Chain A
Amino acid sequence: MKISITVNGRLHEADVAPTTRLVDLLRNGLGLTSVKEGCSEGECGACTVIVDGKAVTSCTTLAFQMDGKSVTTLEGIAEETLHPLQQAFIDHDAVQCGFCTPGMILSAKALLDANPHPTRDEVCRALEGNLCRCTGYLPIVEAVLDGAERLSRS
């Protein structure tokens, strides 16, 4: 099946099988390996990407469904300098092994794009589908709250 999909601002024409998952297209087809796979059933959030503004698990999304849509991966959120959220993740040490990090940052970004001043509870709920076994989440939640501050200042 032929689809056209915008990934990180660039339009791609792709020929995908009906069973090809979005995660496979992104990782294998486009080399966007920031997208991780941890459970393959929509439970861990490691494969989270943003589709038309919403955080989506790319392991449970079929590539053909993305025809005409716009997808953002972690590769697409920073240009010359790091995104304020990424800097906040660094400053709060919200990263240990780093495997959950791309999905975490994208879930957080989708939240902040829709709700620039979230409460702590809202942050926790926005991240509830992203598992992290290393950090205990607390530094991540701090980083997202701080990232919101930084974004509203910039």
Chain B
Amino acid sequence: MSDLRYVGRDIARNDIVQKVSGQMRYLADLRPGGTCHARLLLSPVAHGRVKAIDGTEAAKVPGFIRLFTAEDSPRRRYNSALFLPDQQDLKDQPVFTDRPLFVGDMIGAVLAETDEAARRAAALVRVDIEPFEAVTDPVTALSAPSFRDGFPQIVEGRLSCGEGAAPREGHAELTTTVRTPKIHHAAMENHICRSHLDYDDVLVVQSPCQMIFTVRFVLSELFDRPINRVRVIKAPMGGTFGGKQEVMIEPACALMTLATGLPVQLNLDRNETINATRTRAASVGTVRTVVDGEGYFLHRETDVVVDAGAYATGGHRVAMAMGKKLFRLYRIPSQTFRTRTTFTNTTPSGACRGYGSPQIHAITEIHIDLLARKLALDPAVLRLKNLVEPGDLDPTGAPPLGNARIKDCLLKGMEHFRWNERIAAEPGDGRYRRAVGLACATHGNGYFGSPYPDFLSMAIRLCEDGTLLVNAGLHELGNGTLTVVAQITGEVLGLDPSRIVVTEGDTQTAPFDVGCVASRVTYVCGACAYEAAEKLKTLFRDQIAEATGKDAEGIELDGEVRFDDGKRLSYGDAVCLIAKVLRQEVGIYHNYAPKANPASFGVHFAEVEVDCLTGLSRVTDFLAVHDVGKAINPRLLKGQIYGGVQMGLGMALSEELAYDRSGRPKNDRFSRYPLVNAPDMPPVDVLLIEEHEPGGPYGAKSIGEICTVPTAAAVVNAVNRALVTELTELPLTPERIIAALAERESNKTGRGGQEQVMFSRTTGDSH
């Protein structure tokens, strides 16, 4: 397919001129006026009961409209991850609560004529709360008394394959426990929502979200309104990374509109976005692997405690998604996975780029490196013995892996990164130690094969001037979704993507789509666009044949209509001709449901330099190798990888939402939450393996999530190699590094020779 015109090319994203010139109107940028403004009242305590709320002083603020509390909240509770009525996840979250379960839980809101008045009034509301004891650690939470008023404290899940294996002579095994932190998504745009009541009693909600139909469904259930009287419109979005995936502040905003009939805009500040929305789930995972004398994996057990925070949300889905990845990267004849999702008095967790994958891969890939150390094997060699091959099946019965090119990723990456040479180099024994590390990863391509149905429709139409309108329920997240869909449809129809408009979601006008989530957009939505464009092309050709009386066989559609007698017609003229002669539109509606869910793969290679004096780690070189099937837009795709690496570096080295004993967040503002900035970034080299994935448009598969999955483990592995440590608690902050070095020192002096035997095959076991 070397003659592709638009696919495989670095086409500029559709909205980039608007964005570089400051013309992009995010919701907060709509002209003030015409709407009221709301500010939330968030719980200052991690666990308690609201005894009284007094709005007397607040009501004196000029412009004050109304105070909302738990009494205004519908009785019904909801789960922010549901999108169809049959889904069974716990519905435990109220809109406004008088039993706050974390700092940031919504206990009410103030509505006023201006944002300033809303803020001032909110600050004057007097809330009397009786505080209770808080649980903040997920492991403690397993046995702590439940604070959840009858909802279970633990949700358990299991997956397994094979028969189990008892270690025999010559076998080795290792057990490792890894902790991954709670992380803030840190989209630069804070949460925001607008709602109003429109003609015919339709509730209209504008939200920078990822699943308009989920928002619609949850709102309709919560407020007992017919689904067709809830209209959710995707607003321009300043980043999400899963943070705006689940229904978040839309219920509070809609509640105020429904109660007052007024248009409402609800804004959150950074501090509120950190505390009141969602986080990446913290996890504590213990892995035990048994290998034979040559290093082939025989058996693995993984037990993960996942911190859902205070409400169920999609937390347990994340936990199960973690487990599924375990069966799709290495060939392991016998394997068990158990997860316990548990609840703490902290901000609820939910979707976050990778949906559990970065956590589970941190757990297993750090473990594999320590296992390699124990076996005195190169960690790349140990992996190569065990990685899956193209066409492998998933031993749990989940969809086959497809054209799984992980070995290509690893082998090509090793060569490109000069792995063999660099792994052999000594870390040094001075103040600065340098070493390399790597990690492998897998991720999915949609929902097919999971309990959640995966399908969507698109309506596509050629307009009278020959431009194309792709009417879809898509959500541009900043990753280039709309551009990629334009490239795919443009390729089929021979149309320059600049002549194509792909719409974002609006539940009243767009066909159904489950959402821009689950790494499904390129592989699933892209395939829908491809088929829809093919279908349109066939229809168009037939219509032209009928309208002109010529043979369809002799008509070529290549950006213009070409007849075999040499005559030409522009697309626009052909559309008008069909309108006049046939009285028909050139348009189709296409429904698509994927029949596969192959795996995407990636290997990340990191070089780090650790300053043993300060404990600071710097990533000095990086290579990301990804099995992407086909890059529809290589430049956009690389952009995903750079951003994914950046997030993973934060997870490895600096990002963590921590809480004090009473459950107060310690890092609920950017000045206390160290994000990776420009000077922190290493050079990142990207290598793409493009071997065509069947079922994907032009052979493409997902990248947006997988690109952040192996990063943290690669960095931690490099640090552990540089320092000869076994650091397994993320992030590797300077304090943790200094502590590990001190411990190693005391081991060395206390028990001479410990450092040596850590490499031997018989000791160093940590179980």
CB contacts (< 8 Å) of B641 on chain A: these are 136
Q: How far apart sit A60 and B647, CA to CA, in the bound complex (Å)?
A: 27
**8 A Cβ contacts from A95-138 to B:** 95-102, 105, 121, 123-125, 127-138
**Contact in complex: B670, A131 (CB < 8 Å):** yes
**Contact in complex: B22, A74 (CB < 8 Å):** yes
CB contacts (< 8 Å) of A32 on chain B: these are 22
Least CB distance from B118 to A in Å reads 14
**Contact in complex: B643, A105 (CB < 8 Å):** no
Least CB distance from A144 to B in Å reads 10
Contact A41 B684, CB 8 Å, known A86-B20, A90-B17, A139-B639: no
Contact A93 B636, CB 8 Å, known A36-B238, A105-B20, A131-B670: yes
**Contact in complex: B188, A131 (CB < 8 Å):** yes
Residue B167 at the chain A interface, CB threshold 8 Å: no
**Contact in complex: B642, A133 (CB < 8 Å):** no
Among B24, B269, B636, B645, the residue within 8 A (CB) of A98 is B24
**Contact in complex: A136, B681 (CB < 8 Å):** yes
Least CB distance from A32 to B in Å reads 8
CB contacts (< 8 Å) of B26 on chain A: these are 36, 99
**8 A Cβ contacts from A36-53 to B:** 36-44, 46
Least CB distance from A27 to B in Å reads 8
Q: For residue B479, which residue of chain A has the nearest CB?
A: A96
Q: How far apart sit A141 and B190, CA to CA, in the bound complex (Å)?
A: 25
Q: How far apart sit A124 and B682, CA to CA, in the bound complex (Å)?
A: 11
Among B639, B671, B679, the residue within 8 A (CB) of A135 is B639
Residue B128 at the chain A interface, CB threshold 8 Å: no
Interface string of B668-703 (1 = CB under 8 A from A): 011100010111010110000000000000000000
Interface string of B16-27 (1 = CB under 8 A from A): 111111111110
CB contacts (< 8 Å) of A125 on chain B: these are 678-679
Q: How far apart sit A123 and B675, CA to CA, in the bound complex (Å)?
A: 18
Q: For residue A20, which residue of chain B has the nearest CB?
A: B116
Most buried by B among A33, A90, A121, A140: A33
Among B29, B237, B683, the residue within 8 A (CB) of A97 is B237
Among A93, A105, A133, A139, the residue within 8 A (CB) of B647 is A133
Q: For residue B114, which residue of chain A has the nearest CB?
A: A28
CB contacts (< 8 Å) of A135 on chain B: these are 639, 642-643, 646
**Contact in complex: A82, B20 (CB < 8 Å):** yes
Most buried by B among A31, A90, A96, A105: A96
**Contact in complex: B642, A136 (CB < 8 Å):** yes
CB contacts (< 8 Å) of A27 on chain B: these are 29
Contact A137 B20, CB 8 Å, known A38-B190, A44-B670, A131-B675: no
CB contacts (< 8 Å) of B20 on chain A: these are 82, 86, 89-90, 95, 98, 101, 105
Among B21, B670, B678, the residue within 8 A (CB) of A140 is B678
Least CB distance from A150 to B in Å reads 14
**Contact in complex: A98, B19 (CB < 8 Å):** yes
Main secondary structure of the interface of A (DSSP, over half): loop
Residue A75 at the chain B interface, CB threshold 8 Å: yes
CB contacts (< 8 Å) of B681 on chain A: these are 124, 136-138, 141
**Contact in complex: A99, B238 (CB < 8 Å):** yes
Q: For residue A44, which residue of chain B has the nearest CB?
A: B670
CB contacts (< 8 Å) of B684 on chain A: these are 136, 138
Most buried by B among A27, A39, A40, A129: A39
Least CB distance from B259 to A in Å reads 27
CB contacts (< 8 Å) of A93 on chain B: these are 10, 12-13, 16, 635-636, 639
Residue A78 at the chain B interface, CB threshold 8 Å: yes
Least CB distance from B710 to A in Å reads 15
Q: How far apart sit A130 and B681, CA to CA, in the bound complex (Å)?
A: 13
Q: How far apart sit A112 and B133, CA to CA, in the bound complex (Å)?
A: 54
Residue B15 at the chain A interface, CB threshold 8 Å: yes
Residue B295 at the chain A interface, CB threshold 8 Å: no
**Contact in complex: A34, B22 (CB < 8 Å):** yes
Least CB distance from A91 to B in Å reads 8
Least CB distance from A10 to B in Å reads 16
Q: How far apart sit A43 and B24, CA to CA, in the bound complex (Å)?
A: 22
Residue B31 at the chain A interface, CB threshold 8 Å: yes
Q: For residue A126, which residue of chain B has the nearest CB?
A: B678
Contact A43 B669, CB 8 Å, known A38-B188, A135-B643: yes
CB contacts (< 8 Å) of B185 on chain A: these are 133
CB contacts (< 8 Å) of B647 on chain A: these are 133
Contact A133 B186, CB 8 Å, known A93-B12, A97-B239: yes
CB contacts (< 8 Å) of B29 on chain A: these are 27, 33
**Contact in complex: A124, B12 (CB < 8 Å):** no
**Contact in complex: B270, A40 (CB < 8 Å):** yes
Interface string of A74-96 (1 = CB under 8 A from B): 11001000100010011101011
Q: How far apart sit A63 and B644, CA to CA, in the bound complex (Å)?
A: 37
Residue A58 at the chain B interface, CB threshold 8 Å: no
- Return the 9 tightest CB-CB contacts between A and B, nearest first: A34-B22, A97-B478, A136-B642, A99-B238, A98-B19, A74-B22, A33-B29, A43-B670, A136-B646
28 contacts between A and B (CB under 8 A): A36-B26, A36-B28, A37-B28, A38-B188, A38-B670, A41-B669, A78-B21, A82-B17, A96-B643, A97-B188, A97-B478, A99-B239, A101-B20, A124-B678, A130-B677, A131-B186, A131-B675, A133-B188, A133-B646, A134-B188, A134-B478, A135-B642, A135-B646, A136-B684, A137-B678, A137-B681, A138-B683, A140-B678
